Amino acid sequence: MAHLLKNLTNSIWHAFHALQTDAINTVAKSKLKVLTANIGTLMDLYGVEKGLEHYRSTQNLTFDQYIYYLQKEVFSSITDATSVQTLKTLEEGIDEVCWLICKKIYLERSHPVFEDNSVYQLFRIYCLLAETELDATDSYVVIMHGDEVAQIASHLVMSLGLQWDAVDFSALSAAIGMFRFPTFLAVLESKYSGGNALDIIALTEAIDDLYQIYVENVVKKGYLMKKGFLLPTLRYFWFVLRPGELAYYKDPQQKEPSGLILLNANCWADALTNSGKPDRRFVLSTPEHRCIELVAEDHKGRLQWLAALQTAIQHSGEKIGYQRSLANQRRSLRQATKQEKEETKLELQYERQARIAAEIQARKLEALSKEEGAKVQQLEDVKQKLELLLQEEKQALRDEEIGNRLLHLIYIDLSFYVRLYNLDILHTRKIPTYKLSLYYSSDAELRLQQLEAEREHLDAELRAAREKVKRAEEAQLVLEAQIVTRPLRGAERIRRTQSFMPTTKERPLSIEKIDRLMTLQKNV
């Protein structure tokens, strides 16, 4: 059931398309009743068209709605038990009914070349090889792929003895795209029929040969010699090989076969040898234990017939025709190739998108790296500035420490000079010949060395005067306390100093020397 309706879908579409009277891709139920009644009559079903009145509430039906009705109400009577010959007869009859409805559209041409019967044969070939698809408006259309058209056109051209130009057809197919039946017919008539130079009879025979191959599933045909069953003589017959049968005729024009040999999976064909030499003979064995001896015209012909018999035996019993099966295989291969190309295209798009995303990410990372580099450079600059400030701070601390040490040494030196002068006053009454001179310069280290040298010199003098220091310790401490707290003036300073000094014959410190010491202390 399913196979028969699928095989007839393309021809039913052409009839449905011919019944359309508007551009909405629907047909009135009243028109579809005629087509449905004719189909039902061929299938011995009567009144199946009456169900269209109650099928859906609309007055018009789309193509898919009509196919669904046929599947449920008409073709459901076909079962798996229906014979292959019955299916073949029904398919031929329904194709003819559909052609009667739509032929007016396709036979009216401006420059016809093919006869009407040849156009009908091409119509059946087209419906066998074409595909039903949805167009941009979600409407069903029947189109033929360019590869199938090339196969038909090349076979026709070679049958007419012309030369086939595959490159030229590829350019033509690329320009046309998909072929509808009017386009398919126009291309064959205008470009691949040989023009007016060929005889119409040769053209008709070439199309008839195409019809036999594709529609009638003729695997091979030609003359062979057959050995008789009763009389072992060889006679020429015209053999026609189809899947499941091998028929032979007295001549190609004979309508009914002189004999029919049924083929199935239990049959086989084998070559015969003549003392090890190549021979033109081969034998066909059937389940009835009949061995049919056949003779080809030459050794090449025998090999061709053996291969063709093997193909016919292999496809015997199939309800799908041999050429239709090959067409389905080619269609599946094209779909697989198309899907592979689409997948490859998608993969390339994904790779391109991934590459673009990676480039964008790389640019972002590069920009981020530049920003980080700038931040690092800023941090390096800050670090250098901080290091410079730290060095300056350390230098300032060292300078301050040196200054503090210098002040401390100056204070010690000043105290020592004061002690020295006081001792001189108390004991010897002699003014030392040392001169106090403090020079301050920007070079603290040089000054420190000078002070160290002076201190060593003073230490030497201090060791010499230690005896004197012991005797005047009390007076010396009082004098130091007075000098630290506040400076004393004139006679008061002398009185306080002398009041703490022991009575001695030494000469007191003069006022000029005391003023020099006070000036030195103030400068420090």
pLDDT digits (tens, 9 = 90+) for 264-315: 888 999 988 776 666 789 999 988 757 889 999 988 999 999 999 999 999 8
Give pairs for 441-448: CB < 8 Å, separation 24+.
444/399, 444/402, 444/403, 444/406, 445/402, 447/406, 448/402, 448/405, 448/406, 448/409
Helix (H) / strand (E) containing 227: strand 220-227
Residue 487 has pLDDT above 60, yes or no: no
Report how far residue 237's alpha carbon sits from residue 165's, in angstroms, rounded to the nearest whole number.
36
Of 124-138, 266-280, 468-482, 492-506, least confident by mean pLDDT is 492-506
Q: Tokens for 95?
A: 């194709």
Q: Are strands 245-249 and 234-242 parallel, antiparallel or unpaired?
A: antiparallel
Residue 62 has pLDDT above 50, yes or no: yes
**160-177 per-residue burial string, b: 16 or more CB within 10 A, e: under 16:** beeeeeeeebeebbeeee
Q: How far is CA 11 from CA 4, 31, 122, 328, 445, in A?
A: 12, 16, 12, 17, 119
Q: How far is CA 141 from CA 11, 16, 136, 328, in A?
A: 11, 11, 10, 18
Residue 25 is predicted with a pLDDT of 83
116-129 vs 181-191: helix axis angle to the nearest 10?
130
Closest CA to 468 of 460, 478, 476: 476
> Whole-number mean pLDDT of the chain?
82
Q: How far is CA 359 from CA 349, 356, 366, 368, 371, in A?
A: 15, 5, 10, 14, 18
Residue 166 is predicted with a pLDDT of 92
Question: Percent of the chain having pLDDT more than 90?
Answer: 42
Question: Domains in the chain, ordered, with CATH?
Answer: 3-212 (no CATH), 220-320 (2.30.29.30)
225 φ/ψ angles, rounded to the nearest 5 degrees: -95, 130
Cα dihedral angle (350, 351, 352, 357), rounded to 10 degrees?
A: 90
Mean pLDDT calculated for residue range 207-233: 90
Mean pLDDT calculated for residue range 463-474: 65
Helix (H) / strand (E) containing 68: helix 63-69
What SS3 state is found at 318? coil
Q: Which residue has the higher pLDDT, 87 or 419?
A: 87
**Residues 146-158 pLDDT 10s:** 999 999 999 999 9
Residue 208 has pLDDT above 70, yes or no: yes
**Residues 5-58 pLDDT 10s:** 889 999 999 999 999 877 678 999 999 999 999 999 999 998 899 999 889 888
Residue 147 is predicted with a pLDDT of 92
Question: Percent of the chain having pLDDT more than 70?
Answer: 78
Closest CA to 234 of 296, 185, 159: 296
Residue 279 is predicted with a pLDDT of 78
**pTM reported for the whole predicted model:** 0.67
Residue 22 is predicted with a pLDDT of 72
Residue 344 has pLDDT above 50, yes or no: yes
Q: Which residue has the higher pLDDT, 219 or 81?
A: 219
Label residue 378 exposed, middle or buried (CB < 10 Å: 0-12, 13-18, 19+). exposed
Name residue 105's amino acid.
Answer: I
Mean pLDDT calculated for residue range 353-374: 91
By the 8 A CB rule, do 402 and 445 touch?
yes
Report how far residue 26's alpha carbon sits from residue 37's, in angstroms, rounded to the nearest whole number.
19
Residue 469 is predicted with a pLDDT of 56
Residue 37 is predicted with a pLDDT of 94
Residue 522 has pLDDT above 60, yes or no: no
Residue 210 is predicted with a pLDDT of 94
Name residue 17's amino acid.
Answer: H
Closest CA to 489 of 511, 510, 519, 507: 511
Q: How confident is the model at residue 434 (pLDDT cuts 50, 70, 90)?
A: very low
DSSP 195: G
Residue 505 has pLDDT above 50, yes or no: no
Residue 439 has pLDDT above 50, yes or no: no
Residue 492 has pLDDT above 90, yes or no: no
Residue 251 has pLDDT above 70, yes or no: yes
Mean pLDDT calculated for residue range 469-495: 55
What SS3 state is found at 109? coil
Entry field: residues in the chain: 524
Mean pLDDT calculated for residue range 120-132: 94
Q: Tokens for 128?
A: 């066998």
Query: Residue holding tokens 């359309």?
Result: 20
**Three-state secondary structure string covering 377-402:** HHHHHHHHHHHHHHHHHHHHHHHHHH
Closest CA to 224 of 195, 259, 199, 194: 259
Label residue 132 exposed, middle or buried (CB < 10 Å: 0-12, 13-18, 19+). middle
Residue 438 is predicted with a pLDDT of 40
Residue 488 has pLDDT above 50, yes or no: no
Helix (H) / strand (E) containing 424: none
Residue 465 is predicted with a pLDDT of 65
511-523 vs 322-423: helix axis angle to the nearest 10?
180
Residue 503 is predicted with a pLDDT of 43
By the 8 A CB rule, do 423 and 469 touch?
yes
CB atoms < 10 A from the CB of 488, how many?
A: 17
Closest CA to 169 of 186, 190, 146, 189: 146
Name residue 354's amino acid.
Answer: A
Closest CA to 334 of 97, 150, 207, 101: 150
